[in-house]
Amino acid sequence: MNLSYVSIMNRSAQLLAAVVLLIVSMVFVGYVAHLPLLITLAPALQGMSVLTASGIGCIALALIMQDRPAFWLCWLALGAAMAALASQAAYGRDMISPALAHAVFGMPAEQSGRTSIATAIAISLLALAQHQRIFRRHLLADLLASAAVLLSGTALLGYAYGVRDLYALFLFNTIAAHTAAALFALGLATHFSQADRGWARMIASSRKGGGATRRQLAFTLLPPVAGGVLLHSTHAGRLGPGVAMALLVVITIAPLIALILHDGKTLDALDIERESSDRLKQQTADELSIRLAEQAAALNHESTERMNAEAAMYGAQRLEAVGQLTGGIAHDFNNLLMAIASNLHLSQSRLDSAHPARTFVNNAAEVTQRGARLTAQLLAFSRTQRLDMQPVELDRVVRDARELIGNALGPKVTIELELLAPGAWVVADADQVQLAVLNLALNARDAMPHGGHFHICTFIDGPPGSAADDRKFATIQVRDSGVGMTPDVIARAVDPFFTTKDRGKGTGLGLAQVYGVVKQCGGDLHIASTPGSGTTVDLLLPLTAARESSARKAVPAAARATVDLTGMGPLLVIDDDEHVRIALAEMFRSAGYEVTEAEDGAAGLRLMEEIRPALAVIDFIMPGLNGAEVARLARVKLPTLPIIFVSGYADTLALDEIGNAIVLRKPVGPQTLFHAVNEALGTT
């Protein structure tokens, strides 16, 4: 059902009832003011009687009210009609209306209208229809209203055609034109007022039947209009009666044939659609039977799948435990490396370049850097490492990753490195990208149990030789000559814990970690593979033009000039690791800074009140108060205190809550450390 049509029809019913009420009001004004023209609406027409006006007015009010109190109005209208019919039966005409007009309004009897039999019957039908409508008997209401429309419509057609016999027969004697119009309007309004349930519901329907009904009802207007035009032409002598009748038949039959053919076509289409629906139902039933059989077979496999899922969950728990252990080891190892690296730096600064021990110290410093990379990889494995996003040179990162995968692949696999993106800088975490390449290499090794070829290639935007005007991504492409993957496996390859390896030989986290790293870097991962033809994985990383800003982060030795802290407090170093604290303090002293040390957070806070430091360098993991808590308490006392966090722990989200603080990850080099001090003190 079309709600817009229902709304229009309801409003139309109210409007028709209001118009009828206006006509009745004019008639009563005519009786009150003794204006016969308002009673007849035209000098040559019959007038509307008092009983007729009363009955029609009550029905119109009942339509406007649309609730149970209108029930009494229906009975008043029915009473007026019954009184007129009783007078017609007793005296052969309406004697009550002229008497009422004279007694109530003082109108002469000859100027008063009389209620005809047809009018009284129509009012009775409409009153009963309103009664049935109020009590939700919609079918009976439609039948009664249709009978009233037929009676009043016949009289209206007589007036429209100028055929007096249609409105002056015994049944229609003295029926007025505006009486017939009012009754016709009330009959239509009764239908329209129940458009959501009665016969008019089909008119308001949005389905094909509703459209056909509206077209056919529109066609019903054609014969009366055409008949009136032809009758007028006949009276004017332009057409003979035979010709007029033939034309009326043609005008009526031609559209009727078109409607019949259209509806036949519609019914035929419905039959075809029904047959198609039956076939679809049968097909659906067959498919359902097949699916039920498949599900029955799948239920037998469900217990095995559940066992596999439980095993994966236990494996994930074990992996999480190993990750936590690895993170703890990496944290402690970072503290060791920080102490070693700081002491090596102090040794380098005190040894002449020609000193015999200088070579050994340099070698130890280089190995320390390798240890720092190892701890970063351990933290990545523990999944507590936040990405250190910064511009890095793509080819250099991949070249360094070559060292990691050499031993992992073994002697049976040939490794080929092709760097075709010179000068390309991407926004990424270098350690995580290298770990991603290593994971792909390990997957390739498992896909080539008897050896094969492993190829790493870098390029910008497209494969070598492709042209691109708008370059936004650089690609690391990894190819192997292994067993390949099916489309189903490719679709799930990056899902956590999904693996095609035998139980106990894979966790299903390798590609998931690679995918997560690439996505965090703002890039994407594409997999192309064919069973038996190897696999190609493309890691897309966003290009950046920030090469110069990245280069500025590597501060040359000349930039480490001591800041003039005249009138300011010393640097305060708070670290629970004695070796790290001493090494950091000595590095600052060697650069010319005045330094005060504190072995934990509580001691550091006490010293702050005494010395009011110019800068605080704070560790994160400490007994009692951690670094974030120390910083918050320090900022309460010294709101503008510059703070540098130097932590060996990766999961330091609490440090993000400390505003205007610099976070460095152990082990940190002297150049980075001094640059951070200069930046914190506002000298960069």
Are the CB atoms for 389 and 521 separated by under 8 Å?
Answer: yes
Report how far apart, in Å, the C-alpha atoms of 253 and of each of 209, 211, 213, 257, 671 are: 21, 20, 18, 6, 101
- Structural domain boundaries of the chain? 3-206, 386-550, 555-680
* Strand pairing report for 571-574 and 595-598: parallel
Helix (H) or strand (E) holding 475: strand 473-480
How many other CB atoms sit within 10 Å of the CB of residue 589? 14
For 240-256, what is the mean pLDDT? 75
For 358-364, what is the mean pLDDT? 75
Rounded distance between C-alpha atoms, residue 368 and residue 47, angstroms: 117
**Could you tell me the pLDDT band of residue 510, with boundaries at 50, 70 and 90?**
low
How many other CB atoms sit within 10 Å of the CB of residue 9? 22
Residue 468 has pLDDT above 60, yes or no: no
> What confidence tens digit (pLDDT) does each residue in 152-175 have?
888 888 888 777 766 665 565 668
Residue 664 has pLDDT above 90, yes or no: no
- Higher-pLDDT residue of 612 and 320 is 612
**Could you tell me the pLDDT band of residue 573, with boundaries at 50, 70 and 90?**
very high
**Could you tell me the pLDDT band of residue 549, with boundaries at 50, 70 and 90?**
very low
**Could you tell me the pLDDT band of residue 617, with boundaries at 50, 70 and 90?**
very high
Residue 169 DSSP label: S
Tokens of 31: 């009786």
Rounded distance between C-alpha atoms, residue 437 and residue 439, angstroms: 5
Residue 82 has pLDDT above 90, yes or no: yes
Nearest alpha-carbon partner for 507 in 515, 517, 516, 498: 498
Tokens of 466: 């492709």
Q: What angle do CA 302, 304, 308 make, to 5 degrees?
A: 115
Rounded distance between C-alpha atoms, residue 369 and residue 347, angstroms: 16
> What confidence tens digit (pLDDT) does each residue in 27-62 have?
999 999 888 888 887 776 788 999 999 999 999 998
**Could you tell me the pLDDT band of residue 599, with boundaries at 50, 70 and 90?**
very high
The pLDDT of residue 558:
35
**Could you tell me the pLDDT band of residue 309, with boundaries at 50, 70 and 90?**
low
Residue 518 has pLDDT above 80, yes or no: yes
- Higher-pLDDT residue of 20 and 555 is 20
* Strand pairing report for 413-419 and 524-529: unpaired
Name the CATH code of domain 555-680 (choices 1.10.3720.10, 3.40.50.2300, 3.90.700.10, 3.30.460.10).
3.40.50.2300
**Could you tell me the pLDDT band of residue 382, with boundaries at 50, 70 and 90?**
low
Length of the chain: 684
> What confidence tens digit (pLDDT) does each residue in 497-509 have?
566 665 545 555 5
**Could you tell me the pLDDT band of residue 515, with boundaries at 50, 70 and 90?**
confident
Report the share of the chain in percent with pLDDT over 70.
79
Report how far apart, in Å, the C-alpha atoms of 530 and of each of 483, 485, 632 are: 8, 6, 57
Are the CB atoms for 553 and 678 separated by under 8 Å?
Answer: no
The pLDDT of residue 21:
93
Instruction: Domain 386-550: give its CATH architecture.
Output: 2-Layer Sandwich (3.30)
Helix (H) or strand (E) holding 662: strand 661-665
The pLDDT of residue 465:
46
The pLDDT of residue 551:
38
**pTM of whole model > 0.75?**
no
The pLDDT of residue 22:
93
Residue 662 has pLDDT above 90, yes or no: no
- Higher-pLDDT residue of 230 and 417 is 417
**Could you tell me the pLDDT band of residue 456, with boundaries at 50, 70 and 90?**
very high
Residue 102 DSSP label: I
Q: What rounded mean pLDDT belongs to the chain?
A: 79
